Amino acid sequence: MTTLPAHVPAGPRVIVALDFPGADAALEMARRLDPTRCRVKVGKELFTSGGPLLVARLRALGYEVFVDLKFHDIPNTVAAACRAAASDGAWMIDVHAGGGRRMMAAAREAIESCPDRPLLVGVTVLTSMEAADLAEIGVPGTPEEQVLRLARLARDSGLDGVVCSPREAALLRAECGEGFVLVTPGVRPASASVDDQVRIATPARAIAEGAHYLVVGRPITQAADPCAALEAINAEVAGR
């Protein structure tokens, strides 16, 4: 079993991506699920429509909330945005590691003294990008090389961890150590539809490769029985 660093709260490993257009549908799904069995993620679409009030309502239901806004701007702006997200009561927040060392360090410093400071993770290479996409924006080499480069930079800039594909988890676990939090989307139970994800792994495989937390959206939220789908994943990763 992967050992969680002392500052990482124990609890559910699955983070359910609440990718709904508005607060009502997201809250309806949150009421069906159980905050002792999963955490939840609010992304750009839902946060833009539901805002901090939605985060507060999810917290009132008992959920720890990953506010996934992938900040990428000048250091001062990102630092202020991270401070605001922390004051909304986020459990986890993220920035683009491509924003560089000074931006990430400023983000970390901005939330350092927050009570119950959120975990701060860096987005490495989006799982939608391939080598050709990287070449087009002037990044040579493979996605894996760039993920490793950005993960090292995130670690050296004081971040708690990174978001990566399950396929890169083992590489980063070996490079960055047990204490570096790895959050992996692109998780699909063997029986689930792949949807538009490309670089995927099963929940058991992702945990075995070293992921701390699994972000899972449609296999749970679009299932006929979302609770049963969540429990199947929890059972698959239990004890790992």
Residues that bind ligand C5P (CB under 6 A): 17, 19, 43, 126-127, 163, 185-186, 195, 197, 215-218
3-state DSSP helix/strand/coil % of the chain, to nearest 5: 45, 15, 40
- CA 118/CA 99 separation, integer angstroms: 19
Shortest gap between Cβ of 15 and ligand C5P (angstroms)? 9
Q: In terms of CB distance, is 102 or 189 closer to ligand C5P?
A: 189
- CA 21/CA 18 separation, integer angstroms: 9
Shortest gap between Cβ of 215 and ligand C5P (angstroms)? 4
> With contact defined as beta carbons under 8 Å apart, do 89 and 59 qualify?
yes
What is each CA distance from 159 to 32, 63, 73, 91, 111, in whole angstroms?
33, 23, 16, 14, 11
Q: Which residue of this chain has its Cβ atom nearest to ligand C5P in the complex?
A: 217
Q: In terms of CB distance, is 6 or 190 closer to ligand C5P?
A: 190
> With contact defined as beta carbons under 8 Å apart, do 220 and 189 qualify?
no
> With contact defined as beta carbons under 8 Å apart, do 211 and 183 qualify?
yes
Q: In terms of CB distance, is 17 or 26 closer to ligand C5P?
A: 17
Of 77, 73, 23, nearest to 51 (Cα)?
23
Residue of 37, 59, 70, 152 with catalytic role: 70
Q: In terms of CB distance, is 114 or 227 closer to ligand C5P?
A: 227
Alpha carbon 138 to its chain's center: 26
In the residue annotation, 44 being an active-site residue is answered as no
> With contact defined as beta carbons under 8 Å apart, do 41 and 17 qualify?
yes
Shortest gap between Cβ of 184 and ligand C5P (angstroms)? 9
Shortest gap between Cβ of 163 and ligand C5P (angstroms)? 5
Q: In terms of CB distance, is 89 or 122 closer to ligand C5P?
A: 122
Positions marked catalytic: 70
